[in-house]
Amino acid sequence: MITSRPYENESDLYAISEFLNETYNLSEDQINWGAARWQYAAYFVHPMNLMRSNSYWLESIRIWEENNRIVGVVSYENKGNVYIQRHPKFVDITEEMIIWAEENLSILDENSTRKITIWVNDQDETKKQILSNRNFKKSVDFEYLRLHQLNEIYDYEISESFIISSLDKYKNIESKCDAIVKAFGSSGLPIELYQSLQSAPLYKDDLDIVAVHKNGEVAACGTMWFNQSTKTCYVEPMATSPEYQGCGLGKAILLEGLKRMKAKGARIAYVGSYGEKAGAFYSSCGFEMYERNYPWTKTFD
């Protein structure tokens, strides 16, 4: 018998990671998240929201189980954007999960209209059909899903004004946080928040790559996540300070990270991106676009 329950404690975070590893090894696709993306949400996105006195991420998590074995998970990534992770052998629970999300995770927009958005891999015909039947509308916008088979990794060159290092050797977290803030135009990134990210089980500081200018500051950075259980890696986030863009640092960081992950035994690297500019960058590093995630939105009367 399949039952559902809310998130209970930190052991659920680890159990969901193992569930995502299992579903990937069964299907080797991205219909579900990888465990690295889950841990990024748990150890970075969620703590960031807690700093703003918002605990909605944990409150959004619903777990479906058969005999104490996880077979499905519903959660936000950010508020109003829902993801449904489902075991490929338990397709029949899909509509129940969607209905639960409709009833519990819809939000009011700026016009006080109730709505919900569920993100779906375009290869997931089951979810697409159910959402269509339930009056969801597919957006024209989408997230590119790209992969690199790691068979051949390009070489890179950078100016002598920079060195490529990683946080196991260059331990100035504050400078890395400053680079991320400059790249994304945000108001600040507390060191405590980045230290939370570093506590994620899949995080490794030798895969947290930085390009350091000769003046000692981080000019660009990229975090690579290697998953030994699936022999895959995930890239998130990548950032280059505006004053150093155009120097080839992002490409150097990414290629260095791919080489290090391949040396650890990774077979495939994954990254999600939006827009043609980001797509051109990842293509220049050997990534191929192979799937898309689309938001499907329902507006309630």
> Domains of the chain: which residue ranges?
2-143+293-299, 150-266
For residue 168, give the amino acid letter.
Answer: D
Query: 193 Cβ partners below 8 Å, 6+ apart?
Result: 44, 47, 48, 51
Instruction: State the average pLDDT for the chain.
Output: 95
Give me the tens of pLDDT residue by residue for the chain, a chain 301 residues long: 999 999 999 999 999 999 999 999 998 777 899 999 999 999 999 999 999 888 999 999 999 999 999 999 999 998 999 999 999 999 999 999 999 999 999 999 888 999 999 999 999 999 999 999 999 999 999 999 999 999 999 999 999 999 999 999 998 999 999 999 999 988 788 999 999 999 999 999 999 999 999 999 999 999 999 999 999 999 999 999 999 999 999 999 999 999 999 999 999 999 999 998 999 999 999 999 989 999 999 999 8
- Whether 150-266 and 2-143+293-299 are alike in CATH topology: the answer is yes
- Our CA dihedral for 281, 282, 288, 293, rounded to 10 degrees, sits at -100
Beta carbons of 3 and 65 less than 8 angstroms apart: yes
Beta carbons of 30 and 227 less than 8 angstroms apart: no
Angle at 189 between CA 110 and CA 163, to 5 degrees: 130
Buried b (16+ CB within 10 A) or exposed e, 137-148: eeeeeebbbbbb
Residue among 299, 298, 235 at smallest CA distance from 272: 235
Domain 150-266: top CATH class: alpha beta
Residues of the chain with pLDDT > 90, as a percent, come to 91
> What is the pTM for the complete model shown?
0.94
Task: Give the CATH fold of the 2-143+293-299 domain.
Answer: Aminopeptidase (3.40.630)
Q: What is the pLDDT of residues 143-189, one digit of tens each?
A: 999 999 999 999 999 999 999 999 999 989 999 999 999 999 887 88
